[in-house]
């Protein structure tokens, strides 16, 4: 049977009918808002390549966390910019470190908000890489000990969830083990499971002050040309104890999001990364696109592809739009 019996436009006739039959529904509850926390007080340092985003001191981070919560956003993820860096990334697992202070302050003032922490060494290492370096090589196994210490310090400070982003082999296992051994078996782990070595990260490196002093991250982050490898990475992380798995970046990797969603019975997160955000902001500034319409289309497409959770710098604006 075909036209004129079937007329798909009947179900597009008006907004009420369109809403009734909509397949993908987006809400503020789908978002995690990333925040960059730095030392000092009253600090709100704009990030030039990410308009609308800033490095904020702990007191300002509390304000932003409260804004997110009021808009119906259930969770934030914290990235730290320490005052001092070294070759052992000691500030990453310092009980009085910047992220640890931010966790305590936010949980005190906005207790219902889920506070997630990025677990990685790049922001804390003097060389900007995600692991320990020996003779110019990023060392996998020695890095695992530091990541485990960092994750434990975040949870002791009050973090509700940890999110390892380093892409070292075996890091989910060591983090799960150290949390369980210390009585934190109920703390979930959201793994950056399929994290690609992407050019879309450039603005983030300004925001987190984590540009590598030499080389690049291709020896530990995934090759953008690979699809099957993502399934292997995700499977390994789930086997090691990951509760949520993430695909990063999002827009150019919606096939991976869809594959992961179809293949594994765990929640799937997608990180709408800094470069994706910056492109929208730049085009909107030039008047080439309608910013909010494009943002909402991107968010909806990511959820349609299979993302249960979307990490995005657009979270506040998107939530405001959805709350209208």
Could you read off the pLDDT of 222-259 as tens digits, one per residue? Answer: 999 999 999 999 999 999 999 999 999 999 999 999 99
Higher pLDDT, 83 or 191: 191
What structural domains and CATH numbers belong to the chain? 25-322 (3.20.20.70)
Given a cut of 70, whether residue 1 has pLDDT beyond it is: no
In this structure, what token pair is assigned to residue 248? Answer: 């990063």
Mean pLDDT score, 88-108:
96
Report the pLDDT value the prediction gives residue 136, as an integer from 0 to 100. Answer: 81
Report the pLDDT value the prediction gives residue 87, as an integer from 0 to 100. Answer: 84
pTM: 0.95
Given a cut of 90, whether residue 139 has pLDDT beyond it is: no
Asked if 60 contacts 42 with a C-beta cutoff of 8 angstroms, the reply is yes
Rounded-to-integer distance, Cα 247 and Cα 226, Å? 13
pLDDT band for position 207 (50/70/90)? confident
Report the pLDDT value the prediction gives residue 213, as an integer from 0 to 100. Answer: 65
Report the pLDDT value the prediction gives residue 73, as an integer from 0 to 100. Answer: 98
Average pLDDT score, the chain: 94
Given a cut of 70, whether residue 214 has pLDDT beyond it is: no
Report the pLDDT value the prediction gives residue 189, as an integer from 0 to 100. Answer: 98
Given a cut of 80, whether residue 209 has pLDDT beyond it is: no
Counting runs of H as helices and runs of E as strands, what totals does the chain give?
Answer: 11, 12
Q: What is the pLDDT of residues 18-48, one digit of tens each?
A: 999 999 999 999 999 999 999 999 999 999 9
Q: What is the largest CA-CA distance in the chain?
A: 72
What residues are labeled active site? 195, 248
In this structure, what token pair is assigned to residue 56? Answer: 């904020």
Report the pLDDT value the prediction gives residue 319, as an integer from 0 to 100. Answer: 98
Report the pLDDT value the prediction gives residue 252, as an integer from 0 to 100. Answer: 95
Backbone angles phi, psi at 35, to 5 degrees: -135, 145
Asked if 119 contacts 126 with a C-beta cutoff of 8 angstroms, the reply is no
Report the pLDDT value the prediction gives residue 110, as an integer from 0 to 100. Answer: 98
Rounded-to-integer distance, Cα 249 and Cα 182, Å? 33
Residues 6+ apart with CB under 8 A from 79: 34, 35, 36, 37, 99, 118, 123, 207, 208
Mean pLDDT score, 150-156:
98
Instruction: Identify the CA nearest to 217 among candidates 191, 238, 242, 199.
Output: 199
Residue 294 CB burial class (10 angstroms; 0-12, 13-18, ≥19): middle
Rounded-to-integer distance, Cα 100 and Cα 154, Å? 6
Backbone angles phi, psi at 114, to 5 degrees: -80, 120
Residues 6+ apart with CB under 8 A from 180: none
Mean pLDDT score, 39-65:
96
Backbone angles phi, psi at 5, to 5 degrees: -65, -45
Asked if 201 contacts 222 with a C-beta cutoff of 8 angstroms, the reply is no
Given a cut of 70, whether residue 199 has pLDDT beyond it is: yes
Report the pLDDT value the prediction gives residue 96, as an integer from 0 to 100. Answer: 96
Given a cut of 70, whether residue 215 has pLDDT beyond it is: no
Q: What is the pLDDT of residues 155-173, one digit of tens each?
A: 999 999 999 999 899 999 9
Higher pLDDT, 163 or 83: 163
Among residues of the chain, what percentage have pLDDT more than 90?
A: 84
């Amino acid at each position: 049977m075909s036209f004129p019996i079937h007329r798909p436009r009947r179900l597009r006739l008006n907004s009420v009918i369109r809403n009734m039959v909509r397949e993908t529904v987006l809400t503020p509850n789908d978002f995690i808002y990333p925040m960059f926390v730095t030392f000092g007080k009253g600090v709100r340092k704009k990030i030039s390549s990410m308009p609308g985003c800033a490095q904020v001191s702990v007191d300002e981070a509390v304000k932003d966390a409260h804004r997110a919560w009021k808009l119906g956003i259930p969770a934030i993820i914290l990235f730290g910019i320490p005052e001092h860096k070294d070759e052992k990334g000691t500030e990453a697992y310092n009980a009085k470190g910047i992220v640890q202070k931010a966790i305590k302050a936010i949980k005190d003032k906005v207790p219902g908000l889920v506070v997630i922490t990025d677990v990685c060494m790049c922001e804390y290492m003097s060389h900007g890489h995600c692991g320990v370096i020996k003779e110019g090589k990023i060392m996998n196994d020695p890095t695992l000990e530091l990541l485990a210490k960092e994750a434990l310090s975040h949870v002791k400070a009050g973090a509700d969830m940890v999110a390892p982003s380093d892409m070292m082999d075996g890091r989910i296992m060591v983090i799960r083990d150290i949390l369980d051994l210390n009585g934190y078996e109920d703390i979930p782990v959201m793994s950056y499971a399929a994290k690609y070595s992407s050019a879309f990260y450039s603005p983030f490196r300004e925001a987190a002050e984590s540009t590598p002093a030499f080389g690049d991250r291709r020896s530990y982050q995934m090759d953008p040309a690979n699809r099957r490898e993502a399934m292997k990475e995700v499977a390994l992380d789930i086997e090691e104890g990951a509760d949520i798995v993430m695909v990063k970046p999002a827009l150019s990797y919606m096939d991976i999001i869809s594959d992961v969603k179809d293949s594994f019975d765990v929640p799937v997160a997608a990180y709408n990364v800094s470069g994706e955000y910056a492109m929208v902001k730049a085009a909107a500034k030039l008047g080439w696109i309608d910013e909010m319409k494009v943002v909402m289309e991107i968010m909806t497409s990511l959820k349609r592809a299979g993302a249960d959770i979307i990490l995005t710098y657009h979270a506040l604006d998107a939530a405001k739009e959805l709350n209208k």
